[in-house]
Every structure is written in C-alpha cells, then in structure tokens.
Structure 1
C-alpha cells in the first residue's frame, strides 16, 4: 500500500518527554534509539526536546548517540526538534552551540537540531520569531514552526508565516477534553495553510489512526475523550491539496469507520473522494509534514490492528 506509506512516512515526531507519557530523559532517549532500529522506523521522525533540556539530553545520550565513522558505516545522525521558550534569542544561541558540538566530526557523536518550535500569542509574534531565527544565523539551517494560540483563527497567522517563510503548528489535543479543538478549527487551520501555501505540523492528541473515544492519559480510570485520527487529519490535508472543497472534506475529520478508507499503490480513497500518490507526497512535503506524539508504539500498533500495515515491515 504505497499510498498509506507515503501518507505516513516519517510522520511521528517522538515526544516521549511530554504528557501523558512524561518519561524521564534517559528512558525516552533509549526508546527513540530503539525505534530508529525497529521495523516501524519508516514512520519515525525527529526526537522532540526543549532547548532548556539540551544539556540533560547530551548527558543521557553520551553512550547511544551515533558515533562518527567513515561511510558506508556511518549511521544517520539523530535529528532533533527543539522547543524554544520565552527567551527566544538565548535559546537560539544555545541551538547554534549544540549543533556546533555535535556536527559531523565533533567528539561525542552526531546529532543536529534541524527543526524548531515556538509559540505565538498574536500574528506579529510569527514575524518576531522569524527575525530572531535570521539573527541567530539559523534561517537556512533549521525549520521554524510557530504554534497558534488555542482557538485562534488561522488565516492571520498563515499570512504572516507565508510572508516570513516559516511554518505553523496546531495543537490538536491534550490530557483534558477541553484541550481538543473542534473539527471546524482543524479544518480552518488546514484550509488556511492551503490558501497561503504554508507548511505545517500538528501536535498532541493524535495517537490513533482514526477518530474515536480514548483514554486521555495512561492513569487507571482516567477521563476519556474524543480524539482526532492522524489518518483523518493527514488525508484531509492531501484532499485539500488535490483541490477538494473544504465543505466536502469536513466530514472526513469526524470519520470513524475504517471501511470508509481504501489505500493502494496508486492512491487513497475516502467515501468516493480520491487522491493520487503524487499529490499525497506533495501534501506531506509542502502542507502537513509531521505530528508530535508522546507515544510511537500506539500509532504503529493501531495501524497493525486495523490490518492496514503488517506487523513487520522493512524500512
């Protein structure tokens, strides 16, 4: 099923440090290292870490980061997404220093922060963060994703992001029911990115392929809520990219029936709406590129349970 693989290749940015998993640095790093060598590594993206915890990451990974070696034996470096805090200028300097320490040839292994995430309260913050990125000398070295405030209309942020050449990020859930935006807000975000030609990612609440009710944390007896499905969201972005109208795509975000979907080597279908593999690839490259998840195993397990992907798949 080339279409499904294209839709989901390297789609999960592993955020095991964050709720509801909330792992300590060492076990989260060990899991990421194991996932990099596992059968499902084709779905794995970057390791997500706050800039404030980079030194902790270095200490925890000193023995497991890829070691420098001559090709063809050199392993691929770890690619990292670093979360920038309120003091953006100092955090960006820390990113530059980290990359210098872990560049190919540097002692201690190879890793690179090639994606950054920061939060905006108003559209002008997008421009401010983009300018800070340029001043730090990172504009051509790292991709910046700016997270919208919860409940904000996407279009004003997308307009600034397009003008400044940066990307956007939408929070699609959390550990409480009120952390999940309504489907209309997700569609508004996807449609705004399509109109303004802005690339984006999502984070939180996308552990499962299809929309359904799930436990909101891993605590026994915890509250349950309705979560978005990552297949729903990413296929919606692909259909919008293919020219389907927002009104026609809207019901897809609430689709719960696996039988409504079909994937083959030529494309994907949902209730008669079709998108080809080339457009899916374009949507993944230029529109919606990844989602952050504190679990990598849940998305993989659920795809296997649905019968949409074998339990053992080569990279």
Structure 2
C-alpha cells in the first residue's frame, strides 16, 4: 500500500481507549506482521506525564499552538520519544521561532478549512513541516464534502506539500456510518485523490471503481483509532500480503 502509515490514535474519539490500554495495545501491534505500517502512538500533550515509566515508546503529540509544541518537546518523560508533533493552529513563522525545524521530529500543521487554507499551504512550501487534514469528527459538519476535500488535496499536490489525514477515516472506502448516518471518506479514496483532479473519486464506494492508486503519494499517513480494522480491510482487498 505504498508505505502509507497508520498512526495509532486509539485514545481519541471514537475509540477513547484508556491510555494504559492504548499503550499495551500499541506495543502488541508493533510485534505483529504489519508492524512496518504502524506509526507512533498519538497522544494529547496533557497525557505526557501519565506516560512516565511506559518507555521506551515513540509518540506523536497533539498540541494547540507553537508554544505547546515547544513545551511538548521538553515535557516527555524518560523513555518517551516525541517523534512527531501535530499542531492544531499556528503560523509557520511562529513554529519556526518556537522550535525551528527539528531533524528528528516530524511536524504537522493543521490546514484550516476556511480562506486561510491557501496561505498556510504556501507557507509550508520549502519547510520540513507537513500538513495535516482533518477529514471528519464527532459531528457531520466536521466532514468536508468531496469538493472541499478534493480542492485541498489538489492544492497540496500542486504545492508539493506532504500531508497526513485524520478523523473519520474509519474504512478503506467511502461509506455511510450505520450509527450516525455520517458520510465518511475512505482512506483509499483519499490516496487515489492525490493522483487525479477528479473529485468524484472521493465518492467511490466500490474498490473496483477506483482508479489505479498512484505509485507514490504525498499522503504519508492517516490517523486511526483502530489499527486492525484498516489492516483487515486492506488484506481483504488484496492490497496487503499477510505474512507471519
């Protein structure tokens, strides 16, 4: 699957796994045949103190702003390695002033869903920072429609900015959640969208109707509250070879 990484967001909704259970489950995933596809455990900054004694462990820390990013880099307990930061809202200039461009930390800056989008993407060009797209959430209005998401992906591709996507990507293909009725994007649809300008690819619900997935993609990872569900779906679709 072109090296697309599954960032382990088990502690976030709708998974809401208690931190200790999430750590234990994450360690187990790292021993499985699909370990190469498992990214860091994603945690809120407030959870860092509770990870004392849980190392060695690689984490991605969600922070609100540039100040929070700087604080997270020095707040990790012994044995906890911050390998990524996910910054909810900040300017590129503020981030550079606060933390520079650390070589060992992948920094994601969330792209706003308003008229600031293009300026933020433009500011990311030429930096080591990656973009972060929010593709869903606990309310229907948190899901961008096909046109909006396709336009954002196209802007990132045109600018050459790598990105991750998170929230609402519960399945490989576009689907309607049976409990909430929300229209949810599929992560394979999103991957396919990085190789085409046709927004309709985001509405495809049958893998046989997807265009050929691009040989390389700027979509580097997705956040998921379940690691096994996407692995199982990709295996069933013949996109992963199960090896033990």
Q: Report the TM-score, using the length of structure 2 for normalisation.
A: 0.89
Shift of 1:85: 2.7
Contact 1:10 1:45 in 2 (8 A): no
Tell me the residue number matched to 2:203: 254
The alpha-carbon distance between structure 1 residues 145 and 81, as it changes in their structure 2 partners (threshold 3 A), is: same
The residue matched to 1:224 in structure 2 has which SS?
A: coil
Tell me the residue number matched to 1:147: 110
Pair 1:235-2:192 in alignment? yes
The alpha-carbon distance between structure 1 residues 47 and 152, as it changes in their structure 2 partners (threshold 3 A), is: farther
Segments ≥4 residues shifted beyond 4 Å? none
The alpha-carbon distance between structure 1 residues 90 and 306, as it changes in their structure 2 partners (threshold 3 A), is: closer
* Unmatched 5+ stretches in structure 1: 67-77, 103-110, 216-221, 262-269
Contact 1:10 1:41 in 2 (8 A): no
* Unmatched 5+ stretches in structure 2: none
Contact 2:58 2:83 in 1 (8 A): yes
Tell me the residue number matched to 2:11: 17
In 2, the alpha carbon distance for the partners of 1:15 and 1:152 equals 28
Contact 2:136 2:166 in 1 (8 A): yes
The residue matched to 2:82 in structure 1 has which SS?
A: strand
The alpha-carbon distance between structure 1 residues 152 and 29, as it changes in their structure 2 partners (threshold 3 A), is: farther
Tell me the residue number matched to 1:302: 233
User: When the two structures are aligned, how many residues end up with a matched partner?
Assistant: 244
The alpha-carbon distance between structure 1 residues 306 and 195, as it changes in their structure 2 partners (threshold 3 A), is: closer
In 2, the alpha carbon distance for the partners of 1:174 and 1:90 equals 22
Pair 1:52-2:46 in alignment? yes
Shift of 1:164: 4.4
In 2, the alpha carbon distance for the partners of 1:296 and 1:34 equals 11
Shift of 1:36: 0.7
Q: Whose radius of gyration is greater, 1 or 2?
A: 1
In 1, the alpha carbon distance for the partners of 2:127 and 2:109 equals 11
Q: Report the TM-score, using the length of structure 1 for normalisation.
A: 0.70
Matching residue within 106, 130, 134 for 1:167: 130
Contact 1:13 1:44 in 2 (8 A): yes
Task: Give me the CA root mean square deviation.
Answer: 2.3
Contact 1:11 1:290 in 2 (8 A): yes
